[in-house]
Structure 1
Amino acid sequence: MDIRKELEQRILVIDGAMGTMIQRYKLQEEDYRGDRFKDWHSDVKGNNDLLNITRPDIITAIHKQYLEAGADIIETNTFSSTVIAMADYDMQSLAYELNVAAVKCAKDAIAQYKEQHPEDTKPKFVAGAIGPLNKTLSLSPDVNNPGFRAVTFDEVVAAYYEQISGLVDGGADILLIETIFDTLNAKGAIFAAKKYFRETGKKELPIMISGTITDASGRTLSGQTLEAFYTSVAHARPLSVGLNCALGAKEMRPHIAELSQIASCFVSAYPNAGLPNAMGEYDERPEDTGHYLEDWAQEGFVNIVGGCCGTTPDHIKHIADHVKTIKPRPLPIVETELN
């Protein structure tokens, strides 16, 4: 199952928002706790990654809805499954287990889908989702002490190393370092991945990298331009580089157009369902998102498309329908340097 061969032949579709779908279940504290954590000493409602263990039925069902909608790549529910992020719930010890359990949910969903749809012979891929962390290496959390850092590079690498080991042991097909607003954190994840495969001797998984342009300035939160961001991560020789989150498709378009010109690898894009309204909710209709991404595909900007915050299986179905007959962006011919 070689994802590179698939990407050369067609545009692949990645799934949509996990949090948006979990909200539909209107889960309460006891749903998150389950029997195993019914006596946990702090509130755990909102710890969506914990549902991989306590409500795998819900996570698997959401994955399956995205597969039914036409997704080729399913992201694991592991955006915060690191010791650093899980510290908010004092659940650092669960980090490895959460990642293994999340991959199982995704693989179970694919198995169920394949059993019910034997006519769909296209391969489906599990992308181990690696989030940006809730602490940054480039920025101080204290405006009065700009030199202070809440975390060290070694701590970030160790946290990502454990997450990656869980994703790989679970059986993920790809590592997806996503929603990057601080490139130094992403470098920690890249370093952890390379270190893990070097030390274990396991076959290296393809790495997808997806950054976040936070506003109209065209920069990441840590101040990099898109070209600087790409240059900072290109050494990882990623399968793809792209953008997700923060912006809707309308606002993201010029940045994807730019990235498609500079990237020597495949390009991914999964925007939000427009910009949030006054209530923080997303109103963009699925057919509108589909038309925006169809435009990008026709312009030859993209190889992988999907949705982020606010997107649903309906959004993904429209995207998949709109791009299924369009040829993918061809990889540029890169001249190799003479030694």
Structure 2
Amino acid sequence: MVLDGAMGTMIQALSLDENGFRGEEFAGHGSPLEGCNDLLCLTRPGAIERIHDEFLEAGADILETNTFNSTSISLADYALEGRAFDINLAAAQLARRAADRASDRTPDRRRFVAGSLGPTNRTASMSPDVNNPGFRTITFDELVAAYLEQIGGLVEGGVDLLMPETSFDTLNLKACLFAIEEYFDRHDVRLPVSVSVTITDNSGRTLSGQTLEAFWHSIAHADLLSVGINCALGPTQMRPYIEELSRIAPAFTSCHPNAGLPNAFGEYDETPEDLSGTLAEFARAGWLNIVGGCCGTTPEHIRQVAESVAGLAPRVVPVESEEPSFSGLEVLTVRADSNLIMVGERTNVSGSRRFARLVRENDLESAVAVAQQQVDGGANVIDVNMDEALLDGPVAMTTFLNLIAAEPDVARVPVMIDSSDWDVIEAGLKCVQGKAIVNSISLKEGEASFLEQA
């Protein structure tokens, strides 16, 4: 399947000024609107629909909606948070009309619409203040609420699938996936979900520090149609990561790279011939099911990509491993031949009087040092317990987990969230980007409660 290319690149080519973005409806809006590409779904719908048409004519099977920044969180930069639903609804309807026209012209080849859900302009697992590592500008619950609104507009507008993309912080993505499931449950509807992560550079990690394999295991619980990589890198730089993802993910895989790396002027120089040639190599190697383009890719890029992969066999999805895997910034897989898995228990107020005293006295720097000592001593997992009568368990768990997330040597191992209080467990899960271990839930409250919590 062929995905479309860069909506942002095509919008930039329109050379719109402030008035061009405002249109008549927002002529009196109190904040600058130039650069708010998503708003054009309301103020320049014809231009957006023509861009969709160009990508379809180039050979795209899947259109992405022009909604990458259409959460209330991101739209707040333009004082447009109150129009999030409207923008998503309009964007989905525009792409739906364009896709349906193309499908009508070729009834044997249906075109699809993917609702684009960007990562927002906030990060849930990192602090923007180096002097306050436990600080967060956004919470899991705030992300969920914003994504629920966006999803509502996209689904009502007629998308065929949802695509959280350009994920740089896995905790943000987990909030998005949670919101998707919440929306599906509330509205008795279910659509395919495709996700795409961004590997920021040759370190092979996300911006929030996870390796690709750790990222995959953090979201592998979700019911996904596909998982892929997009943005930040050109296809040549993506090669080792696409190969790795193809090996580890028991789902369809996608790749939509930038048109190379940006030059000194922020422009993309990779030609359609070069981009399509590299993606065709990936396809021939059996690594891909979905191909497309990200920043800098035009309809001509997509035309040549579509031609280069036509007739090539799609990747065969591997069988899912039965070995349990967990993750912090790095992955921990428990194999039959694994050595003893060691759990660091000193970050447990019930099991360490010293750690309990440090937490009660708010000496959190020393408390974090205890976690560091545990990992330095060989702990494969860090057990964190805040069940103490004098503590606000959910607050204490959140605060400590946010602090150790800023310590790469500690955060590389999975966390065991240890509590007999479900509120504490839930608070912990909402601030861990990796795949944590829960210790524990039980059938004490009945089977229905157990299954909901699980």
**CA–CA separation in structure 1 for the residues paired with 2:83 and 2:207:** 29
Distance in 1 (alpha carbons) for counterparts of 2:81 and 2:2: 32
Shift of residue 333, structure 1, vs aligned partner: 2.9
Deviation of 1:204 (Å): 0.8
Structure 1 residue 239 corresponds to structure 2 residue 225: yes
Q: What root-mean-square deviation, in Å, do the aligned CA atoms of Structure 1 and Structure 2 show? A: 1.2
Alignment of 1:75-224 (within 5 A): 75-115=64-104, 118-119=105-106, 121-201=108-188, 203-224=189-210
Cα contact 2:252–2:317 (8 A) shared by 1 = yes
Q: Given the alignment, which residue of 330, 335, 338 partners 2:316?
A: 330
In the alignment, which residue of structure 2 is the partner of 1:37? 26
Matched, 1:230 2:216: yes
| Pair 1:52 & 2:38 matched | no
Which ranges of structure 1 fall in alignment gaps of 5 or more residues?
A: 1-11
Quick check: 28-37 or 320-329, which moved more? 28-37
* Conserved 8 A contact 2:62-2:111: yes
Contact 2:192-2:225 at 8 Å conserved across structures: yes
Residue 110 of structure 1: CA displacement? 1.8
Determine if the alignment matches structure 1 residue 280 to structure 2 residue 266.
yes
Deviations, residues 215-235 of structure 1 (Å, cap 9, x unaligned): 101000000000000001111
Distance 1:335 1:270 in 2: 26
Structure 2 residue matching 1:179: 3-state secondary structure: coil
Structure 1, 281-290 or 139-148: larger mean CA deviation = 139-148
2:52 is matched with which residue? 63
The amino acid that maps onto 2:17 is Q
Structure 2 contact 163–195 (Cα < 8 Å) conserved: yes
Q: Distance in 1 between matches of 2:168 and 2:106?
A: 40
Q: Distance in 1 between matches of 2:219 and 2:192?
A: 14
Take 1:146 and 1:87, find their aligned partners in 2: how far apart are those partners?
A: 24
Give the equivalent residue in structure 2 for 1:251: 237
Q: How many residues align?
A: 323
Structure 1 residues 146 and 287: alpha-carbon distance in aligned structure 2, compared to 1, 3 A threshold: same
Counterpart residue number, 2:307: 321
Q: CA deviation at 1:284?
A: 0.4
Partner of 1:6: none
Q: Is the 8 A contact 2:100 2:111 kept in 1?
A: no
Q: 1:290 aligns with which of 276, 299, 302?
A: 276
Alignment-mate amino acid for residue 121 of structure 1 = D
Does the residue aligned with 1:180 lie in a helix, a strand or coil?
coil
Q: CA deviation at 1:121?
A: 2.3
**How far, CA to CA, are the matches of 1:74 and 1:111 in structure 2?**
11
Cα distance between partner residues in 1 of 2:153 and 2:247: 35
Equivalents in 2 of 1:294, 1:144: separation in Å? 47
Deviation at 1:109, TM superposition (A): 1.3
Equivalent residue of 1:268, what SS? strand
Q: Distance in 1 between matches of 2:58 and 2:263?
A: 26
The match for 1:8 is: none
Query: Quick one: distance in 2 between partners of 1:189 and 1:89?
Result: 22
Q: Deviation at 1:157?
A: 0.4
String of CA shifts for 1:271-301, please: whole Å, max 9, x gaps: 0000110111000000100000000000000
Cα distance in 2 for partners of 1:225, 1:335 equals 18
- TM value normalised by structure 2: 0.70
Q: Distance in 2 between matches of 1:36 and 1:212?
A: 35
TM-score by length of 1: 0.93
How many Å separate the matches in 2 of 1:308 and 1:190?
22
1:111 deviates by 3.1
* Aligned-partner Cα distance in 1 for 2:116–2:179: 14
- Does 1:28 find its partner at 2:17? yes
User: Retained in 1: the 8 A contact 2:103–2:109?
Assistant: no
Relative to structure 1, is the Cα distance of residues 142 and 336 closer, same or farther in structure 2, using a 3 angstrom cutoff? closer
- Distance in 2 of aligned mates of 1:95 and 1:225: 32
1:190-248 alpha-carbon deviations (Å, 9 max, x no partner): 000001111122x2111101000001010000000000000011111210001000000
Moved >4 Å (runs of 4+): none
Ranges in structure 2 where 5+ consecutive residues have no aligned partner:
324-454
Structure 2 CA distance for aligned equivalents of residues 61 and 176 of structure 1: 22
In the alignment, the residues of structure 2 paired with residue 113 and residue 328 of structure 1 have an alpha-carbon distance, to the nearest angstrom, of 23
Counterparts of 1:197 and 1:114, CA distance in 2: 27
Corresponding residue for 1:9?
none
- AA at the equivalent of 2:54: Q
What CA distance in whole angstroms lies between the structure 2 residues aligned with 1:333 and 1:150?
Answer: 39
Partner of 1:308: 294
Structure 2: distance between partners of 1:334 and 1:250: 28
Amino acid in the other structure paired with 1:20:
T
Q: Which has the higher contact order (CA 8 A, sep 6+)?
A: 1
Task: Return the letter of the residue paired with 1:34.
Answer: G
Q: Displacement, 1:142?
A: 1.3
